Amino acid sequence: MTESFGARLEAALAARGRLCVGVDPHASLLSAWGLSDDPAGLERFSAIVVEALADRVAVFKPQSAFYERFGTRGTAVLESTIRQLRSAGALVILDVKRGDIGSTAAAYGQAYLDPSSPMYADAITVSPFLGFGSLRPMIEIADQSGSGLFVLALTSNPEGPSIQHARTADGRTVGQLILDEVSQVNAGVQPMGNVGVVVGATIGKTDHDFSSVNGPILAPGLGAQGAGAADLEIVFGDARRSVLPSYSREILGEGPDTARLRVATERALAACEVALATTS
């Protein structure tokens, strides 16, 4: 039987520390690195990230759109980057935010979560706003293949609260409804479920209950987006033992020098270890 994503993630975090590095090669970052905004620059950027960090960071989160914008040549770079990161022992969460129904949802699962696919990743981000039940085909494929999903719940963008904080008929917020649905999927799974949630580190203290998710909580928004490691305790409280902090520009802004990239990564990891430490 294929080892579950939850088990593989826990092992990776224990070995390398609780940190995710977002790989977002937007045009301005390529320019800042002295690289051309084309497939050649993209390939060089990705190669530097792999060389500097692939063997020391537990999880990477490439943003698919920044590769897709170059068409098939960019997608080929993404496929190669995913393979190289995974070959170095890291896990890869492909940030694609897919969501659809029926056979289309299943096709997305096959594209990203089937080990025979050229775009195979350890996990992907997904959107539940066609109804949480629409994710069922992808959840089933993830379970079969030992892959994972991260479901958008309470995101760090300023437009999110207009939907995610809206109240359902039973009084829960939409965000809490998603957290509760994920809790049901993960109930009883050890060491943690294969379905995680995305909760921005920028959202501040809320009344949302993260304690029963029993899966990883991916927390973007750290660094350039405004949140600091100390915000992890404010947002997540005792649930922070399940949090996977994600930095992007705070680290990648130190490139293309590999030594500076490594120092920035170590600094972020150290800050997160302090913030995520629990006494219980």
CA distance 18 to 275: 11
Among 16, 69, 97, 165, the active-site one is: 97
DSSP element (H, E) containing 20: strand 20-23
Q: How buried is 243 (Cβ within 10 angstroms: 0-12 exposed, 13-18 middle, 19+ buried)?
A: buried
Tell me, what amino acid is at 189? V
3-state DSSP percent of the chain in helix, strand and coil, to 5 = 45, 15, 35
CA distance 139 to 18: 24
Contact 230, 27 (CB under 8 A): no
Reply yes or no on whether 97 is catalytic: yes
Phi-psi bin for 247: left (phi > 0), alpha (psi -120 to 50), beta?
A: beta
What are the residue numbers of the active site?
97
